Amino acid sequence: MRLILLGARKVVETVTQQKGCVLVHCSDGWDRTSQLCALSLLMMDRSYRTIDGFEVLIRKEWISAGHKFKSRCDHFGDRSQPAHEFSPIFLQFIDCVWQLMMQNPTQFQFNDHLLVYLLDALYSCQFSDFLAENDQERVKKGLRHFPSVWKQINAEKDLYVSHAYIPTDDVLVCDMSALQFWADYYLRHEKC
């Protein structure tokens, strides 16, 4: 998470402090590119720190950009994919969002329950958003009849609202020495 957040911080500093332009394109364009662009936008623009804005961010930088959810998550146990294709890229992004939330708790309209729900939805294979590599594949495979995760989230929006939310136009910062292990997610099924 540290390296991903350092990359996003570099993008944010270049744009906000140096007033520079940034082109983000990592090796294949599906993994680090989505992580860095989405995190940078989240850090710079408070609109993406609302529930509706976070939906727009994920749709734009992940779903519409063609992130390889099916391959990265091994949906449907597709062993035709090489093992090196499996990778928790979206999980890493969500963990980074959680790190930012822990360090900037008043800057997010949503709480960590939304993040956990999104991760559960990612691996549940119930939502069209995460079942294919791109929109064309979703249509071709008839996945459009699966609901969108956002329909469910928006129907229960009150569950995901942070009562600590005080919106400002501040650019978020991330102290790399304050990163934490997200025990409430990673250890939530452990017996006490």
Q: Which residues are catalytic?
A: 26
| The two structure tokens encoding residue 142 | 């008839």
What the block records as the tokens of 145 is 């009849």
Identify the residue whose tokens are 């520079």. 20
Q: How far is 153 from 147, CA to CA, in rounded Å?
A: 11
| CA–CA distance, 25 with 37 (Å, rounded to integer) | 9
Residue 185's H or E segment, with its range, is: helix 183-186
Chain-centre distance of CA 143, in angstroms? 21
Residue with tokens 């959680």, as numbered in its chain: 98
Which runs of consecutive H residues, i.e. helices, occur in 17-77? Answer: 32-44, 51-58, 69-73
